[in-house]
């Protein structure tokens, strides 16, 4: 199957100042300008800025570094408390540190905010070359573009070869793309709860999320900075996505058909408990994330196909001769286990692991003991 990627060509006559989401830079976060980046679907980002955090020390030959790739609404703050400019604590607590699976006594750990995001790296909320926020003019990105930016970061840090690249979900897409795009720079790739290509169902789940944001009256073609933004649309998109992140069994066990406390859903205009749960997650994301970045990153995920232009998945994976570990979550309905097995089978090599969890896709974030064991095994192999 041939996939054609078309860049967005939305143009706006003006854009108010940079939003807070595009400007925040917490203590402990570093930034570097890596210059011009030509994009796969056409166009150029003239001056890419990357925000990142590190733990541990890089060795003299630059080969003990491990890159941690975050998921869709994550960022470079993998571990650590919330603080000024950092609204949430680390999203993978217990993974990084002395003696941890990502052992800072052995490895130099790097986590960068993804290109197109909203936590310090160049994205739609960043100021463009004309002094205005990119907004709706921000170009279409692919996963390969994001990896290209990360390769520039690696060079700027003096990393000559990653001891490992590890990520889950969208981060797993980038980990796999790293192995195929830059095989000489990756000793080990660890892909968690992800896929070699975006499936029809995954793209289908994304469509109503994209429409929810773009059809919000406050979207303004993406040029809402300085105005009320499309918070309702973003919150609705998150509700849709969150259902796919958890399992049917978990939702049934946690909520069943219970009413939200003090509310009456049967004719009283109230909510079921599961509806309140989704409302909470929708509001929470809308309070901290840029809707434009949600669009850009979601469309980048839809573009994901490591076999595109490379003769298919099997031929693409043959480029990589390092160690490949792929782990699935048994209850994941967004990235089902068959897609993880397919990566290993297509490459005729690698290690497959299955994480047992009732939590669905988010199990790769929640089951830290099991995931940590997979990561530790992969990095000591």
Angle ∠(10,284,286) on CA atoms, nearest 5: 15
DSSP secondary structure string for all residues of 109-141: EEEEPPTT-SSSSS-TTSB-TTSSB-GGGPPP-
Instruction: In whole angstroms, give the CA distance from residue 344 to residue 375.
Output: 16
Angle ∠(317,320,321) on CA atoms, nearest 5: 130
DSSP 8-state symbol, 183 = G
Q: Give yes or no for a contact between 225 and 17, defined as CB atoms under 8 angstroms apart.
A: yes
Q: Which residues are catalytic?
A: 169, 332, 361
Q: Give yes or no for a contact between 119 and 288, defined as CB atoms under 8 angstroms apart.
A: no
Q: Give yes or no for a contact between 341 and 330, defined as CB atoms under 8 angstroms apart.
A: no
Contacts of the segment 245-253: beta carbons below 8 A, 24+ positions apart: 245/334, 245/360, 245/361, 245/362, 246/359, 246/360, 246/361, 246/362, 247/331, 247/332, 247/333, 247/358, 247/359, 247/360, 248/333, 249/331, 249/358, 250/331, 250/358, 250/359, 250/360, 253/358
CB atoms within 10 A of CB 240: 17
The contacts of residue 61 (CB under 8 Å, 6+ apart) are: 160
**How is residue 381 written in tokens?**
């192999």
Instruction: In whole angstroms, give the CA distance from residue 366 to residue 149.
Output: 29
**How is residue 26 written in tokens?**
């917490």
**How is residue 98 written in tokens?**
């002395």
CB atoms within 10 A of CB 263: 14
Instruction: In whole angstroms, give the CA distance from residue 79 to residue 365.
Output: 12
Angle between the N-to-C axes of helices 170-181 and 291-303, in degrees from 0 to 180, rounded to the nearest 10? 50
């Amino acid at each position: 199957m041939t996939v054609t990627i078309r860049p967005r060509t939305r143009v706006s006559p003006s854009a108010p100042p940079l939003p807070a989401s595009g400007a925040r830079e917490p203590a402990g976060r570093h930034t570097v300008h890596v210059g011009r980046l030509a994009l796969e679907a056409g166009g150029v980002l003239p001056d890419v800025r990357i925000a990142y955090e590190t733990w541990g020390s890089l060795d003299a030959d630059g080969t003990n570094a491990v890159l941690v790739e975050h998921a869709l609404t994550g960022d470079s703050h993998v571990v650590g408390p919330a603080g000024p400019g950092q609204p949430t604590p680390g999203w993978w607590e217990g993974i990084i540190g002395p003696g941890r699976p990502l052992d800072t006594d052995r490895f130099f750990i790097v986590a960068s905010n993804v290109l197109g995001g909203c936590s310090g790296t160049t994205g739609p909320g960043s100021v463009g070359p004309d002094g205005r926020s990119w907004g709706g003019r921000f170009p279409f990105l692919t996963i390969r573009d994001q990896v290209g930016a990360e390769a520039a970061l690696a060079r700027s840090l003096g990393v000559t070869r990653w001891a490992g690249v590890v990520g889950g979900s969208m981060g797993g897409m980038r980990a796999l793309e790293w192995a195929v795009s830059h095989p000489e720079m990756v000793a080990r790739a660890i892909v968690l709860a992800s896929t070699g290509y975006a499936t029809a169902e995954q793209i289908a789940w994304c469509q109503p999320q994209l429409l929810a944001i773009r059809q919000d009256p406050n979207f303004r073609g993406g040029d809402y900075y300085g105005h009320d933004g499309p918070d309702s649309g973003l919150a609705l998109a998150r509700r849709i996505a969150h259902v796919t992140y958890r399992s049917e069994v978990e939702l049934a066990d946690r909520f069943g058909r219970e009413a939200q406390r003090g509310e009456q859903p049967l004719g009283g205009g109230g909510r079921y408990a599961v509806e309140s749960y989704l409302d909470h997650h929708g509001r929470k994301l809308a309070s901290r994330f840029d809707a434009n970045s949600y669009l850009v990153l979601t469309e980048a995920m839809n573009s994901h196909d490591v076999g595109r232009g490379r003769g298919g998945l099997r031929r693409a994976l043959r480029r990589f001769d390092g160690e490949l570990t792929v782990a699935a979550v048994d209850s994941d309905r967004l990235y089902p286990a068959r897609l993880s097995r397919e990566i290993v089978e297509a490459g005729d090599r690698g290690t497959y692991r299955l994480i047992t969890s009732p939590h669905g896709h988010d199990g790769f974030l929640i089951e830290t003991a099991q995931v940590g064991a997979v990561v530790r095994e992969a990095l000591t192999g």
